[in-house]
Amino acid sequence: MRRVLSILAVVATLAACGAAPSPEQGQGEPVRMRAEVLEALPHDPEAFTQGLELSGGTLYEGTGLVGRSTVRAGPVGEEPDVVVSLPEPLFGEGITVVGDRVWQLTWRSGIAVERDATTLRERRRVGYTGEGWGLCHQRGRDRLVMSDGSSVLTFRDPATFAETGTVRVTDGAEPVDQLNELECVGDAVYANVWQTDEIVRIDPSSGAVTARIDASGLLDPAERQNADVLNGIAATGRDGQFLVTGKLWPKMFRVRFVRMA
């Protein structure tokens, strides 16, 4: 009996060791990464970028500022084929594509605009409470993930926009706030951290930050003169590559996130 118990104890210990998640899975210290540039692409330097998403080969971009807010769609690195303006006094924020629809947030108006993904024409408006910053569609869970500039992510129904839950984002015990533009990739959510050159990767099931990505130095000093903050991240679906840009940036970059030595 003692031998059996000893064997069982060893098996349990090995199983526990094998089940322990790595930092890549959302436990322990976040992985430190940087953005490695693969290609520089043109970007409208007058676009106050609030949302960026690549879907079916079409790049969708939402821009902000009252009287200048738009939603655009077209080929990557080229002039958009479709541009639709958001009427005053609405201030456009994050966007995401859900099938044949695009959801667009507004900053402080408490209005989400549902649009046709092809024409970008408005279909309807839905109200919500609080500010709207970033938005993405987590396809595996079929839910929207929304940020409001705090450390809280809100989950919403992609058909009705009704709230279905929340999670607080933390690095260890510390909350991570100023979460802005979002990109859902598989089970992870990537978020620009407002007023920084950092992107964080989040496990939305727990709120744990699993990676901190340094995206500094993409623009040279001359290009930064009239540019605002980093804001805009879109997965390309190719070998972990992303498109990143910022508000009033003259360039967009195709990058991959590589682990720091």
Q: One-letter amino acid identity for 20? A: A
Predicted structure pTM score: 0.88
Please say if the pLDDT value at position 6 is more than 90: no
Quick one: pLDDT at residue 15? 37
Average pLDDT, the chain: 90
Superfamily of domain 28-259 in the CATH hierarchy: TolB, C-terminal domain (2.120.10.30)
Short-list 84, 78, 112, 57, CA closest to 238 = 57
User: Domain residues of the chain, as ranges?
Assistant: 28-259
DSSP, residue by residue, 83-149: EEEPPTT--EEEEEEETTEEEEEESSS-EEEEEETTT--EEEEEE-SS----EEEETTTTEEEEE-S
Q: What is the pLDDT of residues 26-79, one digit of tens each?
A: 457 899 999 999 999 999 999 999 999 999 999 999 999 999 999 999 999 999
Q: What is the pLDDT of residues 236-255, one digit of tens each?
A: 988 899 999 999 999 999 99
